[in-house]
Amino acid sequence: MRLALVNDIRCEAAPGLAGICQQCRSPLIPKCGNIRANHWAHRGQRHCDPWWEETEWHIAWKNRFPIEWQENVHVGQNDEKHIADVKLPNDCVLEFQHSPISDIERASREAFYKSMIWIVDGLRRKRDQQSFAKTLRMISQKPLGFTGFESECALLRDWIGRPVDVLFDFGTTDADQSAFGKPVLWQLHPEPKRRVLLTPVYTEAFINLMHKGGALQRAFFNPPQQAPRLSPAQPSQSFQQYSRRLQRNRFRF
């Protein structure tokens, strides 16, 4: 963790400090070495919050927001507590998800935080980026949507049907770079009936929007659309056409 209580003030780890965990109130040890950024650790390996995970990807994302917004304890019903990765001043929680997570776990976090956005590491599994791009090429609508979900993309199958926005982060890809000129996140809109509705959102624009307390744009589903069939004969120009159209008509908040 980046933050612990020192004399009841949230502080970053430094040699010689003794911290208290904001969540469980147990003593924390400052870890200050050359490999990882300074952080606090519980004695032993286990973190007190079963929802907790922290990778370099998490740290980079959290650091795109003020430190006051990072690692705040969120108290739900029955005094259940969890440390939110980033909690915006409007109480919306940004949950950065790298590890595999079950539908039950997803639902329990959504019920706990109520107002939240998932930001999902699209690079954890080897094939997700490729199969996601392949799926995009099959969709010709603007916004990119389809029903009758049969995608080969495991990432979409995992995250479809959430009642809140999900943003997939594939980092900086050549395809996005050439289509949009800068990194984008792919927004999977909350859609009933397991429909898929995707729009690209500039990463930078998303961060600015969150800083300003804005809400993500809601796209409208445009049925009917058949489920994409992934076959070599399928034309793959639709996504390029879509990108060109986007660039012409600009896509910004």
Q: Sheet holding 39-42: strands in order across?
A: 9-12, 3-6, 19-20, 27-31, 39-42
Q: Which is nearer to Zn ion, 79 or 174 (CB)?
A: 79
d(CA 87, CA 68) in angstroms, rounded, equals 9
Q: Which is nearer to Zn ion, 24 or 123 (CB)?
A: 24
Taking the complex as a whole, the smallest distance from the CB of residue 3 to Zn ion amounts, in Å, to 12
Chain positions contacting Zn ion, by CB under 5 A:
21, 23-24, 48
Taking the complex as a whole, the smallest distance from the CB of residue 47 to Zn ion amounts, in Å, to 7
Q: Sheet holding 116-121: strands in order across?
A: 70-75, 81-87, 93-97, 116-121, 166-169, 184-188, 196-202, 144-146
Neighbours of 199 (CB within 10 A): 20
Taking the complex as a whole, the smallest distance from the CB of residue 77 to Zn ion amounts, in Å, to 20
- The residues, ordered by sequence, that sit 6+ positions from 54 with a Cβ below 8 Å of its Cβ are 1, 39
Q: Which is nearer to Zn ion, 21 or 136 (CB)?
A: 21
d(CA 63, CA 199) in angstroms, rounded, equals 25
Taking the complex as a whole, the smallest distance from the CB of residue 63 to Zn ion amounts, in Å, to 21
Q: Which is nearer to Zn ion, 48 or 209 (CB)?
A: 48
Nearest 5°: the CA angle 87, 100, 60 is 45
Taking the complex as a whole, the smallest distance from the CB of residue 48 to Zn ion amounts, in Å, to 3
Q: Which is nearer to Zn ion, 23 or 135 (CB)?
A: 23
Taking the complex as a whole, the smallest distance from the CB of residue 2 to Zn ion amounts, in Å, to 14
Q: Which is nearer to Zn ion, 22 or 238 (CB)?
A: 22
**Cis ω on the peptide bond leading into residue 27 (within 30° of 0)?**
no
